[in-house]
A and B are shown apart, each in its own frame.
Chain A
Amino acid sequence: MTVALTRTKVEQALSHDFEAVAAKLPGGRAVTEARKAAIGTFAALGLPHRRIEQWKWTDLRSALKEPLSPAVGGAAKTSAPDIDAALEDLAALDAYRMVFVDGQHVPELSTVAAAKGLEIASLAAALAKSGDHAGDGLIAASAIGQEAVIALNTAFMTDGAVIRIGKAVRLDKPLLLVFARTATEGRLVTTRNILELGDGAHATVIEAHVALRGAAPGQANTLSDVSVGDGAHLTHTKCTVAGEAASHLATWLATLGKAATYHAFQLTASTGLARNNLFVTFKGEGAKLDISGAFLGRGAEHIDTTLVVDHAVPGCESRELFKGVLADKAHGVFQGKVIVRPDAQKSDGKQMAQVLMLSQDAEFDSKPELEIHADDVVCGHGSTAAEIDEDLLFYMRSRGIPTAEARALLIESFIVEAIDKVGDERVRAALAGIATRRLATLSASQP
């Protein structure tokens, strides 16, 4: 049954804005057709709202009240030191860099070039070259389901990173993709990345979604389309500190080949509204997935992680550990679904979500789900929400540690277990630094 709904101001503006900017968006005829189809899909669906099961705790229709105009071209001038300041501890990471400002690639700030076995380009350039064919999987993601957020991404995407790593090629340094917001007026910034690892390739990729000082509230819609080849190994990390008045809609779509390893991690903090959507599908046997995250919320921040892990083939292993700290009136959401298809015997899936509540007014909603159609599997999940243990606090205070310091130590020790899951030691240290700085403000905001 379809219920006719009155379109909100934002929904109307999005459809209207598409007409206005369509001609400026990159891509040949096939891409343009895909964009038009996508905005049509969006017009039919509208923004996700609470009556859609997967969005019941993150009602975008009521959360996104003010229309923002899409950012197309003309990124504000930005300097490397400004980017470094926004990157905090990640700035010192010895990595190749690709920088996008307000959804536009900025070659001057980027330090990576194609090499043997490494194809690297901006999505805008790749789309421009695509002519009448949208080939090479540039818009493949739009084929996934009827997701309004993905449809919007296809319709409005301006740029992003296209990385293809050849067979058995090892990237010698991590690749840092920086998505910075500078606009002095709120904008809708839409980016898409394509990450393809050939068989046996190895790479570490970090996405940093940050706001430069003085950036206006904005909305980001970002999508990463990931494919990890047979025996390939990808460490994929996302650090989102987009700003208290910003919203961040992120989708990761990943497929894993035979005996592939995908080590993913997401840190989300200091972001007004975040929805991290993750879809991972095992395509080949014997693959391993470790997807974890840490989220830190304060004020009225809302952080949602929704993931679907699809054991479509036998003998794969999935591990998820998500930990959050919620202060003030922050709202955390975790929805984790593990599907084991009928043929996927010997699947091994474990999932855990744990939250530390620092305030009576904070809220955590959790829905772990197992959908198992095979009989020879090991799967488990769990979810907990707890407050700081007063007995532990007393123990520490009895040793002379002042309350604030004891609380901070307990909160940090709680979140460290998740951050320890970051697959690369240097990246882990940087994220730990960024998280610790946020934790200090979280524990200080309490009585």
Chain B
Amino acid sequence: MLEIKNLRVKLADEDKLILNGVSLEVPKGQVHAIMGPNGSGKSTLAYVLAGREGYEVIDGEVLWNGEDLLAMEPDERAAKGVFLAFQYPMEIPGVATLTFLRTAFNAVRRKRGQKELTTPEFLKRVREEATSLGIADEILKRPVNVGFSGGEKKRMEILQMAVLEPSLCVLDETDSGLDIDAVRVVSAGVTKLRSKDRAMLVITHYQRLLNYIVPDKVHVMAGGTIRKTGGKELALELEKTGYAEFKSKALESA
């Protein structure tokens, strides 16, 4: 279970509060969506969960299966099952995608005390996942994300997620910049990974993605806190009403 308790976060080198007391619980086996307007703190929450530098936690805690996530380095978090699908995946010139996947895969397997796979076993594994995501073999040989289209980059994030077998998946605006076909492929990849041992946090601005990845709960975030929590129908309501209600509240509290 992911437990976020009264999390308050500011930028490390600026006195700017971004998360102002976020509390949230995502039990294993559930998918929660976080929706909210731009600048509400959604992406910051994703980065803080993954351990990116540049933020300072001034209060609160984050527990993952009872362990203090914030005390861990990013690679330790990955070994503990945390995976962040980036809104803007990075390009790594000179590092072949397969090499990158293999290095990451072996690193987390070692840390988790699992055995590494032989090269043929690993390749088979990656190719199966890649095929179901519509990723061509040729792309796996190219440097990570270099020259990839927006859709290819997002598929690659889901491929990494599938290969690394995380138990806490955080998806940051995975649907942004995708056409409807790409949203379908990516959503199918995510849905396939839903399981009773896995918690998922899906961050999105639009309701569209949640037609395909149906959440157990929807949280509305604005002004750095969770404003409202409801079932999947909340997403549909928001689609009609927009975020205006939450924006004004956010301003009042600021």
Assess the A400–B111 pair: CB atoms within 8 A. Answer: yes
Assess the A390–B53 pair: CB atoms within 8 A. Answer: yes
The 8 Å CB contact of A402, one of B51, B75, B92, is B75
A420 (CB) vs chain B CBs: closest residue: B94
Q: Which size bracket describes the interface of A in this complex?
A: 20 to 34
Assess the A399–B94 pair: CB atoms within 8 A. Answer: no
Contact with A along B61-91 (1 / 0, CB 8 A): 0000000000001110111001110100110
A28 to B142, CA, bound (A): 59
Query: Which parts of A405-425 form the interface with B (CB within 8 Å)?
Result: 405-406, 409-410, 412-414, 416-417
Give the secondary structure class of A's interface.
Answer: helix
Assess the B90–A392 pair: CB atoms within 8 A. Answer: yes
Assess the B103–A401 pair: CB atoms within 8 A. Answer: yes
Assess the A409–B103 pair: CB atoms within 8 A. Answer: yes
A391 at the interface (CB under 8 A from B): yes
With A390-B53, A405-B103, A413-B95 in contact, do A399 and B90 touch (Cβ < 8 Å)? no
With A390-B53, A395-B86, A405-B103 in contact, do A400 and B92 touch (Cβ < 8 Å)? no
B35 at the interface (CB under 8 A from A): no
B89 (CB) vs chain A CBs: closest residue: A395
A23 to B50, CA, bound (A): 73
Assess the B94–A416 pair: CB atoms within 8 A. Answer: yes
Assess the A397–B78 pair: CB atoms within 8 A. Answer: yes
Assess the B75–A414 pair: CB atoms within 8 A. Answer: no
Assess the A398–B84 pair: CB atoms within 8 A. Answer: yes
A392 to B90, CA, bound (A): 6
With A402-B107, A405-B103 in contact, do A397 and B90 touch (Cβ < 8 Å)? no
B160 at the interface (CB under 8 A from A): yes
Please, which residues of chain B bring their CB within 8 A of the CB of A400? 75, 78-79, 104, 107-108, 111, 164
Please, which residues of chain A bring their CB within 8 A of the CB of B107? 399-402, 405
Assess the A399–B53 pair: CB atoms within 8 A. Answer: no
Please, which residues of chain A bring their CB within 8 A of the CB of B79? 400
B50 (CB) vs chain A CBs: closest residue: A398
B230 at the interface (CB under 8 A from A): no
Assess the A398–B74 pair: CB atoms within 8 A. Answer: yes
A306 to B38, CA, bound (A): 52
Q: Which size bracket describes the interface of B in this complex?
A: 20 to 34
Q: Closest CB-CB distance, A195 to chain B, in whole Å?
A: 32
A390 (CB) vs chain B CBs: closest residue: B53
A10 at the interface (CB under 8 A from B): no
Please, which residues of chain B bring their CB within 8 A of the CB of A402? 75, 107
With A398-B51, A400-B107 in contact, do A414 and B94 touch (Cβ < 8 Å)? yes
A403 at the interface (CB under 8 A from B): yes
Contact with A along B156-170 (1 / 0, CB 8 A): 000010001000000
Among A390, A413, A416, A417: residue with most chain B CB under 10 A: A413
B49 (CB) vs chain A CBs: closest residue: A398
A434 at the interface (CB under 8 A from B): no
B93 at the interface (CB under 8 A from A): yes
Please, which residues of chain A bring their CB within 8 A of the CB of B83? 398-399
A396 at the interface (CB under 8 A from B): yes
A392 (CB) vs chain B CBs: closest residue: B90
With A400-B108, A400-B111, A414-B94 in contact, do A394 and B78 touch (Cβ < 8 Å)? no
Assess the A397–B73 pair: CB atoms within 8 A. Answer: yes
Assess the B104–A401 pair: CB atoms within 8 A. Answer: yes
A417 (CB) vs chain B CBs: closest residue: B94
Q: Closest CB-CB distance, A408 to chain B, in whole Å?
A: 10
Please, which residues of chain B bring their CB within 8 A of the CB of A392? 90, 92
Assess the B94–A397 pair: CB atoms within 8 A. Answer: no
Assess the B104–A396 pair: CB atoms within 8 A. Answer: yes
Q: Closest CB-CB distance, A356 to chain B, in whole Å?
A: 11
Please, which residues of chain A bring their CB within 8 A of the CB of B249? none
The 8 Å CB contact of A413, one of B52, B75, B94, B108, is B94
Identify the 6 closest CB pairs spanning chains A and B, nearest first: A413-B94, A400-B78, A400-B108, A399-B104, A397-B74, A395-B90
CB-defined A-B contacts under 8 Å, sample of 25: A390-B53, A391-B90, A394-B50, A394-B51, A395-B86, A396-B104, A397-B51, A397-B73, A397-B75, A397-B78, A398-B75, A398-B77, A399-B78, A399-B83, A399-B107, A400-B79, A401-B103, A401-B107, A405-B103, A410-B92, A410-B95, A413-B94, A413-B95, A414-B94, A416-B94
